[in-house]
Structure 1
Amino acid sequence: MAKQPDSGKPETDIKLPDPAAWARNWARITEQSQKLMADMAARQQPEAKQPPQGPLGAPLHAPANPDPLNVGGAFMEIAQHLMADPNRLAEAQMKLWQDYAKLWANTTDRFLGRPAAPLVEPDKGDKRFKDAGWQDGPVFDFLKQSYLLTSRWVQSTMSQAEGVDPKVARKAEFYAKQFLDALSPSNFVLTNPEVMRATIESNGENLVKGWENLLEDIERGKGKLAVKMVDSKAFTVGETIATTPGKVVYQNDLMQLLQFEPTTKQVYQRPLFIVPPWINKYYILDLKPQNSFIRWMVDKGYTVFVVSWNMPDETTVDKTFESYMREGILEGLDAVKKATGEDEVTAIGYCIGGTLMASTLAWMAQKKIDRIKAVTFFAAQVDFTEAGELSVFTDEETLTYLENLMAEKGYLDGGEMATTFNMLRANDLIWSFVVNNYLLGREPFPFDLLYWNADCTRMPAKMHAFYLRNMYQKNLLSQPGQLELAGEKLDLRQIKIPVYLQASKDDHIAPYKSVYKATQLYGGPVRFMMAGSGHIAGVINHPDAKKYQHWLNDTKTNPPNVEDWIKGAKEYPGSWWNDWDAWLAPKSGDKVPARKPGDGKLKVIEAAPGSYVKKRIVD
């Protein structure tokens, strides 16, 4: 007997819809669609403003630039260079047609019940095609493979364009990936097997709920789509997350300084002073007791102080990079001394907080100020020549666009920052929620890390422009004497204190290759460590979790290239925190009686986590 065609269960074994329920739900979807279109049209109506006038009183009509980032120009330059070698382009096209011919043959075999190995498979970790429907039936399998073939062909062909400015090529390839990610068949109702099943089995109820979610997100974003990643009511800062006991012992209009309650009878003499990034909030270091870095350090016998940055608004538009140094680190150090009586500390700088810390240490070295005796950097860059995909946002067109955007309010809105970082992992942080929320009609999973990620903040215009232009665009901090801060020309070679440099293998924001470059810039001993995972999980990896791994190389002199360091490195299972504690403890002084917030010259202002961290842009 001939074998029956393999059409796959998800494509055939689906219960039939209820016609009446189906009709009702589609009527509701139509009604919601009309409401959405009417709302969008109303929001697009221009405000009645007097048009700007020219020197003779005639109104000026300056249409907005439809492509302020010059993405189209980047694609055009790539296309011109590809067309300059028609033979290579023809070969690439022929290769694509040959692959499609093989795919059609494989799909035909599957329809006829014959086995056929996949021509192309998703990358490891690509969650878009994890549903069994993508593999079990030939139709959706064909859609998946044809998409993967085409998207990889586009990216491969673009990378073959010779003679293109590397910055232009990087921009074109980045935005091409954004477009390709958006066109994935997983993002559409009729081409996603999981969504198709949910739609038929629920008589379209999932799409009705999805439209409701979409309308709520647009309303919450005040006309802009603010994709909901997590239920904001599922967590409360200070109650369910950021719960390590402590007190606010100092504050100014830029930051609050938190001192945490000791859990040991004795503590190290030198306090630990932590400067987190102000792009996000400090409690990534204190999400919950099971993975809290701050609680772990307190239990290890450190007197922990953490800077909690304020939410910039119209009153802080004049804050500069120097302001963050003076009012964040320098005033913070003075406050630690008043709270504990200790002039010397050890310190941590995380991400942009690490870039600020390195700049401040170089400034302090010029001033002969020796108060930080050892420093740790988490995912912090000081040489930006290989800064990864974020470099796409630091060319002249993009910086000009951002500066114009910030000029109106004096700060960059947190939503803009969140979108930028989400684009680096668009499939995980954008499209997965589009499918879950709008196509499947589900509520987001209550995940503390995503709550923190969505709890975005703002960036003061002057500070942000200084950072992007001088660090990312001009890379001045890595060049001795080229960056001036508060009247001093900075030289990282003058930082002679011991450095522990953390990087993560899969970090898209601060790539390990970029972080490693600092080993060649600091003037003192540097212990470099590479952790598994990315920008967050590579740092926040409690030893009890027994997750991931880390690499260490006990060479006394770090080689110039990270590839050579990796060759001599040894892999260790689990968290790197214990290695770091073993490094830091001998540099933290003798043990002294534990100090409680309020024991010193600073009075308690309020309980941790303080009021600054609770300010939110969007609920």
Structure 2
Amino acid sequence: MKDPNATEVAGHASQSASVTRKADRPLRRHLASITGGSSPASTLTMINDWALHLASAPDLQITLAQTSYAHWVAWLGFVARGCPESPDQHPIAAQKGDRRFQNAAWTKPPYAAMAQGFLLLEDFFDKATSEVPGLDPAHDRAMTFLMRQMLDAMAPSNFLATNPEALVRTVETHGANLQKGIAAFLNDYQAGWKGATPARTQQLGLDVACTLGKVVFRNHLIELIQYAPKTGKVHPEPILIAPAWIMKYYILDLSPDNSLVRYLTSQGFTVFMISWRNPDPEDATLGMDDYLTQGLLAAVDYITTVTGAEQIHSAGYCLGGTLLSIAAAALARDGDERLASMTLFAAQTDFTEPGELSLFINESQVSFLEDLMDAQGYLEANQMMGAFQMLRSNDLIWSRVVRSYLLSENDTPMNDLMAWNADGTRMPARMHSEYLRHMFLNNDLAAGRYQVGGHAVSLRDIRIPVFGVGTETDHIAPWKSVFKVHSLGHADVTFVLTNGGHNAGVLSEPGHKHRHFRVHTTRDQDNALSPEDWLETAALEEGSWWPSWAAWLSRHSGPKGAPPKMGRKLADAPGTYVMME
């Protein structure tokens, strides 16, 4: 057991281990800094592979020629008829969720012709980069993605001369929108494209991260926050939440009306939250093992020692959930029974199908990224968020360009989720390299090769109840990938699939409009279900999934009694680490 009153851990574990570097490569590091960590070799290899296989597929070339001809004839007919406004007479419809051409001005010539021509072009190149015979499936998906990114940048909605809404705004404001747009562009450029900071519109501890509590434990890597109980009696098992350290912890404690922490304390639970330190260049050698021992396991030691609880409930979000599954497997291997249950929010344990994020991750790309991190000591938040934004470039990049620089709608107040999303953190070089290699490249955890304490751990050793949450439109941790937790352990798994994305689906407080979810429990002895079969079996319910989770926790908890005493205060919540820039 670690000393629960310790305030600092001397030194960093594994300081002697170097970041994954085979040799000093200053020129590659310089090139990596120019490209932002993107490997030119990886991109060129993918394009060459696609081009060669397309060149050796005459049948597909003929099909593409026929598609091009059909699109051209349909577009010419549409223009010859005067670009009728009826959607039934459009050559092609925009995909679901595409809001670029929703304004009424896009239904009138010549802008209707531009919009339809562009959508037909997108359709053609989607076919040209999909299902090319013999092409490596990874290159097939990556080429489709790359072409989509190129076309997204060329959309007529992105340019003043071809955006009717922007032209009208320019006339109405006598060019003031462009003047403000240029000022916004310059501000973003000078800020390094990091966007607005939450301090500008949301104050930590007052507007967000404002649930009452105090920091009761601190070491070099974490502050552990204990929240004040809101009920006279609580279950004897505290809840430890491990958020991802890719962003600040308070995604689960945003505004009072959508704070998961506040909700749990109102349901009779004692809640502890890990707040991760924002690493600097001196933390470059922090690895996954440090995050496990100084982070999650240190918190478990403190909670069980100070509260006297024999067991605790554990919950992990995204990367924090992956780390939690490693901890649960290690504790199970060692016969440590302090975890009563494990909950995973949009967290992957098997990375064979990690979604579009895998398009950025291969040996060439990871090696190049390691060179970039070697020069910096960490991966910058904006460098990492750029990859996430590209997964939804229309919504997260180009729509913002249009709103801010062409329409001058950059005065929209920042809500709590936007504030959190702008409050990024860095990733230590060694940890990020180990995470990419052990999980995305080698899938060591699911394969039983990942080592803790010099010995491999297996998720099959986990026999505590598991509650998993996937979200329908998650681009970071696709729900079918999260669903794989069913086949990795010997545990009863209750799985929830909720509408929304990686963040909005988890923030599903009671009373939130237009929320629904599916839920089903698969016992360890039950026959396995595929994701598709699970969809047919799971019960569809309206509203928030939070009450279902709270009820599940209650069923796996002891009877309520007096709450444990608050630990010795080191600082008031939200603490000091969350304030680190």
Structure 1 position 555, deviation (Å): 5.0
Distance 1:558 1:115 in 2: 47
Q: Note closer, same or farther for the CA distance 1:593–1:517 as it changes in structure 2 (3 Å cut).
A: same
1:396-439, CA deviations, whole angstroms, 9 ceiling, x for partnerless residues? 11101110000012211111111111111111111111111111
**1:45 is matched with which residue?**
none
Checking the alignment, whether the CA contact within 8 Å between 1:546 and 1:573 is kept in structure 2 is no
Q: Does 363-372 or 551-560 show the bigger shift?
A: 551-560
Matched, 1:464 2:398: no
**Using a 3 Å threshold, how does the CA distance of structure 1 residues 595 and 215 change in structure 2: closer, same or farther?**
same
Give the superposition deviation at 1:69. Answer: 5.2
| Distance in 1 (alpha carbons) for counterparts of 2:123 and 2:406 | 26
SS in 1 for 2:447: coil
Q: Is 1:165 aligned to residue 165 of structure 2? A: no
CA-to-aligned-CA distance 1:149-194 (integer Å, 9 cap, x gap) = 1112101221031111122222222221111111111111111111
- CA distance in 1: counterparts of 2:231 and 2:86, whole angstroms: 68
| One-letter amino acid matched to 2:500 | S
Residue range with higher mean Cα deviation, 183-192 or 60-69: 60-69
Specify the code of the residue in structure 2 equivalent to 1:531. Answer: T
Shift of 1:63: 8.9
Which residue number in structure 1 is paired with residue 101 of structure 2?
A: 129
TM-score, normalised by the number of residues in structure 2: 0.91
Correspondence 1:465-614 to 2 at 5 A: 465-480=433-448, 482-556=449-523, 557=526, 559-598=528-567, 603-614=568-579
Q: Is the 8 A contact 2:317 2:347 kept in 1?
A: yes
Mapped partners of 1:203, 1:324: distance in 2: 55
Correspondence 1:166-245 to 2 at 5 A: 166-221=137-192, 225-226=193-194, 228=195, 232-245=199-212
Q: State which of 72, 96, 99 in structure 1 corresponds to 2:44.
A: 72
Q: In the alignment, which residue of structure 1 is the partner of 2:115?
A: 144
For residue 305 of structure 1, give the secondary structure of its aligned residue in structure 2: strand
Map of 2:13 onto structure 1: none
Task: Please give the secondary structure, in 1, of the residue aligned with 2:279.
Answer: coil
CA drift at 1:138? 2.4
Whichever of the two has the greater Rg, that structure is 1
Task: Show the 5 A alignment for 1:423-462.
Answer: 423-445=390-412, 446-462=414-430
Return the alpha-carbon distance in structure 2 between the equivalents of residues 77 and 372 of structure 1: 48
**Aligned position for 1:50:** none
Describe how 1:99-138 pairs up with structure 2 within 5 A. 99-110=71-82, 117-135=89-107, 137-138=108-109
Asked if 1 retains the 8 angstrom alpha-carbon contact of 2:87 and 2:93, the reply is no
Distance 1:116 1:357, change over 3 A: closer
Q: How many residues align?
A: 548
Q: Which amino acid aligns with 1:68?
A: P
Asked whether 1:336 is paired with 2:307, we answer: no
Deviations 1:443-485, CA, capped at 9 Å, x for gaps: 25212211111111011111111111011111111113x1112
2:477–2:502: 8 Å Cα contact kept in structure 1?
yes
Label 1:564 to 1:114 Cα distance change in 2 as closer, same or farther (>3 A). Answer: closer
Corresponding letter in the other structure for 1:81? H
| Cα distance change on mapping 1:213 and 1:112 into 2, 3 Å | closer
Q: 1:547 Cα shift?
A: 2.8
SS of the residue aligned with 2:258? coil
Q: Per-residue deviation at 1:615?
A: 1.6
Q: Is the 8 A contact 1:271 1:342 kept in 2?
A: yes
CA distance in 2, matches of 1:463, 1:398: 16
Cα distance in 1 for partners of 2:171, 2:199 equals 30
- Aligned 8 A contact 1:394 1:473 in 2: yes
Report the AA paired with residue 499 of structure 1.
Answer: V
The answer to whether the 8 Å contact 2:260/2:509 transfers is yes
Q: Percent identity?
A: 38
1:185-235 deviation line (CA, Å, top 9, x unaligned): 1111111111111112222221111111111111111xxx44x36775111
* Counterpart Cα distance in 1 of 2:260 and 2:28: 55
Cα deviation, 1:253-277, whole Å, max 9, x if unaligned, reads: 1010000011111111110000000
| Aligned partner letter, 2:171 | I
Tell me, yes or no, if structure 1 residue 420 matches structure 2 residue 387: yes
What do residues 58-100 of structure 1 show as CA deviations (whole Å, max 9, x unaligned)? Answer: x999994875352132122111111112232132122122222
Deviation at 1:127, TM superposition (A): 1.9
* 1:259-311 deviations in Å (ceiling 9; x for gaps): 00111111111100000000011111011011111100010010000000000
Q: Distance in 2 between matches of 1:61 and 1:395?
A: 17
Contact 2:243–2:320 (CA<8 Å) still a contact in 1? yes
Letter of the structure 2 residue corresponding to residue 610 of structure 1: G
In the alignment, the residues of structure 1 paired with residue 494 and residue 474 of structure 2 have an alpha-carbon distance, to the nearest angstrom, of: 19
Structure 1: gaps spanning 5 or more residues = 1-58
Rounded Cα–Cα distance in structure 2 between residues aligned with 1:230 and 1:521: 40
SS in 2 for 1:128: coil
Deviations 1:504-562 (A, max 9, x none): 11111111111111101111111111111111111110012143211123554262421
Contact 2:450–2:456 at 8 Å: present in 1 too? yes
Question: Match of 1:457, as an amino acid?
Answer: T
Higher relative contact order (CA 8 A, sep 6+): 2
1 CA distance for matches of 2:106 and 2:321? 44
Which amino acid is the alignment partner of residue 578 of structure 2? Answer: V
Offset of residue 500 of structure 1: 0.6
Give the corresponding residue for 1:4.
Answer: none
2 CA distance for matches of 1:218 and 1:537?
28
Structure-2 change in CA distance of 1:397 and 1:592 (3 Å): same
- Determine helix, strand or coil for the equivalent of 1:216: helix
Cα distance change on mapping 1:489 and 1:554 into 2, 3 Å: closer
**SS of residue in 2 equivalent to 1:70:** helix
**In the alignment, which residue of structure 1 is the partner of 2:292?**
325
Q: Which runs of 4+ in 1 moved over 6 A?
A: 59-63, 112-116
Against the structure 1 CA distance between its residues 116 and 477, is the aligned structure 2 distance closer, same or farther, given a 3 Å change threshold? closer
Distance 1:518 1:115, change over 3 A: closer
Contact 2:470 2:483 in 1 (8 A): yes
Cα–Cα, structure 1 residues 114 and 238, in superposed 2: closer, same or farther, change >3 Å? Answer: closer
Tell whether the 8 Å contact from 1:433 to 1:444 is kept in structure 2 after alignment: no
In the TM superposition, residue 488 of structure 1 has moved relative to its aligned partner by 2.1
**Structure 1 400/444 Cα, relative in aligned 2: closer, same or farther at 3 Å?**
farther
CA contact (8 A) 2:350 2:446 kept: yes
Distance (Å, rounded) in 2 between the aligned partners of 1:527 and 1:607: 35
Q: Which residue of 1 aligns with 2:8?
A: none
- Mapped partners of 1:606, 1:354: distance in 2: 26
Measured on the aligned residues, the alpha-carbon RMSD in Å equals: 2.1
Query: SS at the partner of 1:374?
Result: strand
Change (3 A) 1:438 1:250: same
Query: Structure 1: how far apart are the matches of 2:28 and 2:407?
Result: 44
Give per-residue Cα distances to partners, 1:84-139, cap 9 Å, x unaligned.
1223213212212222221221222126999961121212222222211112x121
